[in-house]
Chains A and B, each alone.
Chain A
Amino acid sequence: MFSSKGKIIATGGIIGILSALLVKFGNPVNMGVCVACFFRDIAGSLGLHRAAVVQYIRPEISGFILGAFLIAKVKGEFKPRGGSSPMIRFVLGFFLMIGALVFLGCPLRMILRLANGDLNAITGILGYTAGIWVGIQFLKKGFTLGKSTINANATGYTMPVFAVIILLLLIAAPTFIIFSESGPGSMAAPIVLALGAGLVIGAILQRTRLCTAGGFRDVILIKDFHYMYGLIGIFAFALIGNVIFNFEAINIGFVGQPIAHNNHLWNFLGMTLTGITAVLLGGCPLRQTILAGEGDGDAAITILGLITGAAFAHNFGLAASPAGVTTNGKIAVIIGIVIAIAIGYSVVTAVKRKTDKINKEGEVEVGI
């Protein structure tokens, strides 16, 4: 078991170091890798929202998808599949993004923020843990999005092709693609470096399956620390990386943190929403991106939900900013939590009804 522990910590370590390096070479501070922010930037760049400071096609995202795609292909694990509650996944993805953009970061950025001294991330982690606990209560009652089935290759290739197309749009830079001239969207590591880091992270995550939601979930649900060690690896090595490469940017405290606010209640509740939705989806945005790369059409739908959520978050003024959380954003988080819980109940009720029916009819369904 030791070797597997070492491997997962090393995986986290590579992500942590690469994140610090991406900041060193131009990404916004604490945003070496942020899956929610990056999809949000892509949504902006494609013109789906018009927040002028967060529009850029992040090549890291293409890297995650293609890195996972290529290694899955090589290892024979590329499996086009889908059909597991796509509509629910879309809605959960949508609200996962709303929660993340009120906190200002996906769970991965939460860890990276902490590794740079942003103590608001602790509030976020508490909220995320609370959300995951809520999600687990539904898992315990039978929540499942259902088994996916084998699909046509077209399903599996959708996201890898999307990854190539946005990469080409980034390089060709036609006039209909929007690039921020100021703000976080204007800050980016060189394309080759960002893409390379993305490919490496995509490949190692496909191999190790590290996931922020899975890390917290397994600790609470089955007292297993395998993925949690990976998350600790991300934190530890991002911290070391920041000390080496970005020492001047380290700032310990709650106030004046880069691309963050210190409204504790909404940092907590934003990540609560993200936690519930991530557990119900079976993975955080990073994990969904990797799964989409290995042919999972349901993860691809989730990503479309994330992108749509990001577009609405900026069009409707839901996303927070360093200035604080908007009223619209607060309302959206509450609505999101209510909807996520309603979805949980709805699925649990449907599963229970099915089980009761089977019991009544005396037939036993075993999936072998």
Chain B
Amino acid sequence: MNNFYCVMTFHSTYHALNFEKVLKDLNYEVRLMPVPRQVSSSCGTAAEFPCEKKEEILKICLSNQIEMDNTYKIESQSKSNWFVKLINGKKE
């Protein structure tokens, strides 16, 4: 059905774990996963979250001191230009 999903990356595993805990407690559907290859050549931990709830989730991160790195929208199938940066954050 969905041919895209959203992920958030973090500065450390601790914040990823904290993100999962805080959001699960608030009944958001989030899931930890390895950072998608399209996003980075690093092999850390990222979290999948419902794209439509991005704004509220970002607010929750801010108020819970969860240090996020960036968010990405990943298109599953299309071959070229298959991810779109949602937030214009720091570019590596």
Contact = CB atoms under 8 A, between A and B. Distances in A.
Interface of A: 72, 77, 79, 139-144, 147, 150, 206-209, 211, 214, 218, 221-222, 224, 226-227, 282-283, 287, 294, 351, 355, 358-359, 364-368
Contacts of A351: 14
A79 B92 CA distance: 9
Contacts of A358: 65
A368 B41 contact: no
B41 A282 contact: no
Listed from nearest, the 10 A-B pairs whose CB atoms lie closest are A144-B12, A222-B32, A142-B14, A139-B13, A209-B43, A368-B89, A214-B43, A77-B41, A367-B67, A226-B34
Contacts of B33: 222, 224, 226
Nearest to B10: A367
Interface of B: 11-14, 17, 32-34, 37, 41-45, 61-62, 65, 67-70, 87, 89-90, 92
A364 B14 contact: no
Given A221-B45, A283-B43, A366 B68 contact: yes
B87 A224 contact: no
A211 B89 CA distance: 28
B10 to A, nearest CB: 8
B21 to A, nearest CB: 10
A181 B44 CA distance: 43
Most buried by A among B13, B37, B67, B68: B13
A208 B37 contact: yes
Contact of B17 (A140, A206, A207, A287): A140
